[in-house]
A and B are shown apart, each in its own frame.
Chain A
């Protein structure tokens, strides 16, 4: 069964460093998403991506964040200069052609980012 994969499963970095979180969405999906979950809090939407551009972003997704689909399979989230408050679990999701989240979003297992 196709699934969304994410690497690494756990990333530890120093404050101020750049990190890139990687995701491989399901191959025929066209919509891609990043969410994050700070420990003990709700899952929060960061950004959605379609047709090689951001379709929607939340207020959390500021200039420190960027997304890219560098090739036909990967979808990345970059944090340019990490802050302590960026420590969270980051989930990637993808959905099939159609109207955004009205189709099921399939989630990856997450990358736990720890900023020291």
Chain B
């Protein structure tokens, strides 16, 4: 069965600091992994996805994530946080016809 675990329901960083949001997955098959972002009162927007190939995936807004099979991880990073990055972030792993989401991490950026 597929599942993801996001460590830390809330993360606060200073503007300009490194953003690191953690995600570990469990999958019985080679996983397809996703990070989605949700801004207040909006839907889920895809940040990036890993399917096959290069394990370091670059997404929108300067975010990237690295698939590490040995650690069953897919952590999301951004070198320098911006105020506009404040949002809820969801990691997800694919099922046959659906996505399994984590509980989300709320990112706060402190000026």
A: which residues have CB within 8 A of B? 4, 31, 33, 35, 41-45, 48, 50, 55-56, 58, 91, 93, 100-102, 104-110
Contact = CB atoms under 8 A, between A and B. Distances in A.
Interface in B77-111: 90, 92, 94-104
Given A91-B43, A102-B51, A107-B43, A45 B98 contact: yes
B18 interface: no
Contacts of B90: 42-43
A109 B98 contact: no
Interface of B: 32, 36, 41-46, 49, 51, 90, 92, 94-104
A42 B4 CA distance: 10
A31 B96 CA distance: 12
B99 A101 contact: yes
The SS class assigned to the A binding surface is strand
Contacts of B92: 43
Given A43-B90, A91-B44, A102-B51, A48 B97 contact: yes
6 contacts: A41-B103, A42-B104, A45-B99, A48-B97, A50-B97, A101-B99
Contacts of A102: 32, 51, 94
A56 B98 CA distance: 8
Given A101-B32, A102-B32, A45 B43 contact: no
Interface centre among A35, A55, A102, A106 (most CB of B within 10 A): A102
Contact of B49 (A50, A104, A106): A104
A110 B43 contact: yes
Contacts of A104: 46, 49
